[in-house]
Structure 1
Amino acid sequence: MRRTLIILLAALLAVAAASVGVYHWATLPTTLRIAVGPVGSEDTRLVVAAAQYLARERAATRLKIVLTEGLGASASAVDDGRADLAVVRSDVAMPARGQTVAVLHRNPALLITREGSSLTRVSDLRDRRIATTRSNPANERLLQAILDHYEIPRDAVALVPLGSSQEAAEALRDGRVDAIFAVGALTGRLLNEVVSAVSRATGTPPAFVPLPEAEAIAQRSPAYESFEVVRGAFGGTPPRPAEGFMTVSVAHLLVAHTETSDADVSEFTRLLFVMRPVLSGEVPLANRIEEPDTSKGSSLPVHPGAAGYYDGETLSFMERYGDWFYLVVMLAGLGGSAIAGLFGTAANRTRSRTMNLLKDLLAIVHDAREAQSEAALDGLDRAADEILVQALTRAGEGVLDETSLVAFQLGLDQARRAIAERRHWLEEHGTPLVRAAE
Structure 2
Amino acid sequence: MSRTRLAALSILCALIGCAALVTFWYNRPTTVTIAVGPSGSEAARLIDGFRLALQRERSSVRLRLVSSDSPSDSAARLEREDVDFAIVRADISMPPSAMVVAVWQRNPVILSAPATAGIERWTDLGGKTIGVMGRGVGYNIRLIQTILREHGVQPSTVRMVEVLPWETADIFRKKQIEALVTVGPPSSKPVADALSGLVRETPDGKVILVPVREAEAVADRVAYLESMDVIAGSFGSNPPRPAENFPTLGVVHYLVARRGVDDAVASEFTQQLFTLRPALAAQHPAANRLEVPDTEKGSSVQVHPGALAYLTGEQKTFVEKYSDYLYLAIFGLSLGGSAVAAVLGYFGLGRRDKDPGHLPEVLMMLRQVRATDDNDVLDEIAHRADDIFVESIEASKRPDFDSSQFATLTLALDRLNASIADRRRTIAMMEDVEEEEQPPAPVAVTIARG
- Aligned pair in 2 of structure 1 residues 349, 166: CA closer, same or farther (>3 Å)? closer
Asked whether the 8 Å contact 1:35–1:66 carries over to 2, the reply is yes
In the TM superposition, residue 278 of structure 1 has moved relative to its aligned partner by 1.3
Q: Deviations over 1:182-240 (max 9, x none)?
A: 11122222111112222333351532111111122211211110111011112230011
In the TM superposition, residue 114 of structure 1 has moved relative to its aligned partner by 2.2
Same amino acid, percent of matched pairs: 39
What's 2:352 paired with?
350
3-state SS of the aligned residue for 2:286?
Answer: helix
1:75-94 to structure 2, matched below 5 A, reads 75-94=75-94
Alignment partners' CA distance in 2, 1:273 and 1:191: 25
Alignment partners' CA distance in 2, 1:276 and 1:321: 30
1:311-350 to structure 2, matched below 5 A, reads 311-326=312-327, 329-330=330-331, 333=334, 349-350=351-352
**1:264 and 2:265 matched:** yes
What's 1:239 paired with?
240
What's 2:129 paired with?
129
Alignment partners' CA distance in 1, 2:293 and 2:248: 20
Alignment partners' CA distance in 1, 2:84 and 2:198: 41
In the TM superposition, residue 55 of structure 1 has moved relative to its aligned partner by 1.1
Q: Deviations over 1:411-431 (max 9, x none)?
A: xxxxxxxxxxxxxxxxxxxxx
In the TM superposition, residue 335 of structure 1 has moved relative to its aligned partner by 6.2
Alignment partners' CA distance in 2, 1:122 and 1:348: 92
Q: Which has the higher helix share?
A: 1
Alignment partners' CA distance in 1, 2:62 and 2:102: 17
Asked whether the 8 Å contact 2:230–2:247 carries over to 1, the reply is yes
3-state SS of the aligned residue for 1:250?
Answer: strand
The residue identity in structure 2 corresponding to 1:15 is L
Alignment partners' CA distance in 2, 1:208 and 1:352: 97
Alignment partners' CA distance in 2, 1:335 and 1:149: 72
The residue identity in structure 2 corresponding to 1:304 is P
Q: Deviations over 1:96-139 (max 9, x none)?
A: 11111111110011112124431111111011011123222111
Alignment partners' CA distance in 2, 1:334 and 1:14: 17
3-state SS of the aligned residue for 1:110?
Answer: strand
What's 1:71 paired with?
71
In the TM superposition, residue 159 of structure 1 has moved relative to its aligned partner by 1.4
Alignment partners' CA distance in 1, 2:264 and 2:116: 55
**1:204 and 2:205 matched:** yes
Asked whether the 8 Å contact 2:133–2:140 carries over to 1, the reply is no
Asked whether the 8 Å contact 2:109–2:250 carries over to 1, the reply is yes
3-state SS of the aligned residue for 2:352?
Answer: helix
3-state SS of the aligned residue for 2:250?
Answer: strand
The residue identity in structure 2 corresponding to 1:161 is E
Q: Deviations over 1:366-421 (max 9, x none)?
A: xxxxxxxxxxxxxxxxxxxxxxxxxxxxxxxxxxx9x9xx9xxxxxxxxxxxxxxx
- Aligned pair in 2 of structure 1 residues 17, 339: CA closer, same or farther (>3 Å)? farther
Alignment partners' CA distance in 1, 2:121 and 2:258: 42
- Aligned pair in 2 of structure 1 residues 348, 260: CA closer, same or farther (>3 Å)? closer
3-state SS of the aligned residue for 1:46?
Answer: helix
Alignment partners' CA distance in 1, 2:79 and 2:291: 24
Asked whether the 8 Å contact 1:86–1:255 carries over to 2, the reply is yes
- Aligned pair in 2 of structure 1 residues 205, 57: CA closer, same or farther (>3 Å)? farther
**1:290 and 2:291 matched:** yes
The residue identity in structure 1 corresponding to 2:188 is G
The residue identity in structure 2 corresponding to 1:269 is T
Q: Deviations over 1:320-377 (max 9, x none)?
A: 34455555555555566567668867677432999xxx9xxxxxxxxxxxxxxxxxxx
RMSD: 2.9
Normalising to structure 1: TM-score of the pair? 0.74
What's 1:309 paired with?
310
Bigger-Rg structure (1/2): 2
**1:37 and 2:23 matched:** no
The residue identity in structure 2 corresponding to 1:104 is W
The residue identity in structure 2 corresponding to 1:310 is L
What's 2:55 paired with?
55
What's 2:9 paired with?
9
The residue identity in structure 2 corresponding to 1:190 is P
In the TM superposition, residue 88 of structure 1 has moved relative to its aligned partner by 0.6
Asked whether the 8 Å contact 1:205–1:240 carries over to 2, the reply is no
Using the TM superposition, name which of 327-336 and 55-64 deviates more.
Answer: 327-336
- Could you list the runs of 5+ residues in structure 2 that have no partner in the other structure? 361-401, 410-450
3-state SS of the aligned residue for 2:205?
Answer: coil
The residue identity in structure 1 corresponding to 2:156 is D
What's 2:161 paired with?
160
What's 1:184 paired with?
184
In the TM superposition, residue 174 of structure 1 has moved relative to its aligned partner by 4.4
Alignment partners' CA distance in 1, 2:340 and 2:18: 17
3-state SS of the aligned residue for 1:130?
Answer: strand
Alignment partners' CA distance in 2, 1:327 and 1:54: 35
Alignment partners' CA distance in 1, 2:81 and 2:260: 9
Using the TM superposition, name which of 19-28 and 314-323 deviates more.
Answer: 314-323
The residue identity in structure 2 corresponding to 1:122 is W
- Aligned pair in 2 of structure 1 residues 117, 256: CA closer, same or farther (>3 Å)? same
In the TM superposition, residue 297 of structure 1 has moved relative to its aligned partner by 2.2
Alignment partners' CA distance in 2, 1:321 and 1:161: 55
The residue identity in structure 1 corresponding to 2:46 is L
Alignment partners' CA distance in 1, 2:339 and 2:95: 54
Asked whether the 8 Å contact 1:169–1:198 carries over to 2, the reply is yes
3-state SS of the aligned residue for 2:139?
Answer: helix
What's 2:142 paired with?
141
Alignment partners' CA distance in 2, 1:234 and 1:329: 64
3-state SS of the aligned residue for 1:11?
Answer: helix
3-state SS of the aligned residue for 1:351?
Answer: coil
Alignment partners' CA distance in 1, 2:25 and 2:84: 20
Using the TM superposition, name which of 114-123 and 18-27 deviates more.
Answer: 114-123
